[in-house]
Structure 1
Amino acid sequence: MNRTDRLYALVEELRAVSPRPRSARWLAGRFEVSTRTIERDISALQGSGVPIWAEPGRTGGYVVDRAHTLPPVNLTAAEAVAMAVALHRLGGTPFAGAGATALRKLLAVMPAADAAEAHRLAGRVHLIGDGPATPVPAVVADAVSARRVLRLTYADRAGTASAREVEPLGYLGNPRHWYLLAWCRLRDGLRCFRTDRILGVEALPEVVTRELRLDDLDIPHERVRALSLV
């Protein structure tokens, strides 16, 4: 077992028995290395931010904070590629960048052999087109997450531009376009702003306190589906 694999296995061993401790001698026997090697490994893990501490005494040893460490990510190659295909469809949405980052993080913690197989499988998948064509400006996406008021320059269907302050409340999306749902202070009402018609945008310091209600949408409820993480 190389050192990287041993460090990972050490954390998992400590997680499995937490909050009970494991002594350096026990861990040395488990991983067939010296106690000095275990002590160096534990020090390296602590230095990288893993919450491990030593409990003194005859029955003491090393303990990891289970609540602040994660179990291994056991994605199969097919599951990783399925996520990549789904994320491809996020192109142009407010979450395209975050989705790509999440996939890279998942691939980074997959076992090397599984990650390599995922890359091989992905190489056999070919997609046509780049997903939705309408981009969502990064300032808009950040403002929805941070609940910040925006100052927009927006072009209507006829191309006429107007400036207004809006309170971002959420998004409405379909396969072709994404819309910013916001309370328009100019019109004193809820409006949908197609993101590719936003000509200019500036985030203001003011925090949005208003909440989006489904009843505020002038759309039949049966046509609107809220996103769920379950």
Structure 2
Amino acid sequence: MANVITPAAPTRSLTTAEIAALALSLAHLGAGPQSVTARRGLRHAFEHLELDDDVIATTLATLTTPLPADVATRARVIADAITDRLVIRLHYRDAGGRITAREVDPVTCLVHREYWYLVGMCRMRRAIRAFRFDRIIAVEPTMIPARPHLAERFLPFQRRKAA
């Protein structure tokens, strides 16, 4: 008979940064056996959140759906760059179809509705930007150290508390 450990109920909700980190970790697992178990665990964690909003519900569904293999491969490079605090070079197609090469200090990744985003300091624009994963054509690691940025300051879709 296997020992089963029953965890205590969560005492607090996950922060936006924690959800982003968990989601990114799952993103580059692709659709393999580990990812199925991990996504099931993440869905279980979300069961304890109060979902009174269609945007949040859609976002959580996107978080727990595997990325296409090519996007998962790019997500792995992005995750490594965030962990190693290194600049990445993106080849990016914007909403208007223009393609640019950009060097980005990656800060975090997040999901909003049905899209994944890389949030980072774009060196070309000299400002924080969110890059949709499905518009990233290619991503290249560099050996350039990224400047430190706190993820909590750059999550554009999180709800702000009223002052």
- Determine helix, strand or coil for the equivalent of 2:80: helix
Aligned residue number for residue 179 of structure 1: 117
Aligned residue number for residue 140 of structure 2: 202
In structure 2, the CA distance between the partners of 1:148 and 1:73, relative to structure 1 (3 Å rule), is farther
Aligned residue number for residue 169 of structure 1: 107
Matches of 2:97 and 2:5 in 1, distance apart? 47
Matches of 1:164 and 1:74 in 2, distance apart? 49
Contact 1:149 / 1:205 at 8 angstroms: preserved in 2? yes
Contact 1:149 / 1:168 at 8 angstroms: preserved in 2? yes
- Determine helix, strand or coil for the equivalent of 2:149: coil
Contact 1:190 / 1:217 at 8 angstroms: preserved in 2? no
Q: Report Cα offsets for 1:185-224 as digits up to 9, x if no partner.
A: 000000000011111111001222321354455556438x
| TM-score computed with the length of structure 1 as normaliser | 0.41
Kindly name which structure, 1 or 2, has the bigger radius of gyration based on alpha carbons: 1
Aligned residue number for residue 24 of structure 2: 94
Aligned residue number for residue 41 of structure 2: none
Q: 2:96 aligns with which of 155, 158, 165?
A: 158
In structure 2, the CA distance between the partners of 1:103 and 1:209, relative to structure 1 (3 Å rule), is same
Aligned residue number for residue 35 of structure 1: none
Contact 2:81 / 2:106 at 8 angstroms: preserved in 1? yes
RMSD over equivalenced CA pairs, Å: 3.7
Matches of 1:161 and 1:74 in 2, distance apart? 52
Deviation at 1:178, TM superposition (A): 0.9
Richer in helix (by share): 1
- Aligned residue runs from structure 1 range 82-161, under 5 A: 94-96=24-26, 97=29, 100=34, 103=37, 131=65, 135-136=71-72, 137=74, 138-161=76-99
Deviation at 1:146, TM superposition (A): 1.8
Aligned residue number for residue 43 of structure 2: none
- Aligned residue runs from structure 1 range 39-118, under 5 A: 74-75=4-5, 94-96=24-26, 97=29, 100=34, 103=37
Q: Report Cα offsets for 1:167-198 as digits up to 9, x if no partner.
A: 00011212411100000000000000001111
Contact 1:132 / 1:175 at 8 angstroms: preserved in 2? no
Richer in strand (by share): 2
Deviation at 1:100, TM superposition (A): 1.7
Structure 2: where are the runs of 5+ without partners?
Answer: 7-22, 39-61
Per chain length, whose mean CA-contact separation is higher, i.e. which structure has more relative contact order (CA < 8 Å, sep 6+)?
Answer: 2
In structure 2, the CA distance between the partners of 1:163 and 1:73, relative to structure 1 (3 Å rule), is farther
Matches of 2:79 and 2:129 in 1, distance apart? 17
Contact 2:118 / 2:133 at 8 angstroms: preserved in 1? yes
- Aligned residue runs from structure 1 range 16-55, under 5 A: none
In structure 2, the CA distance between the partners of 1:202 and 1:222, relative to structure 1 (3 Å rule), is same
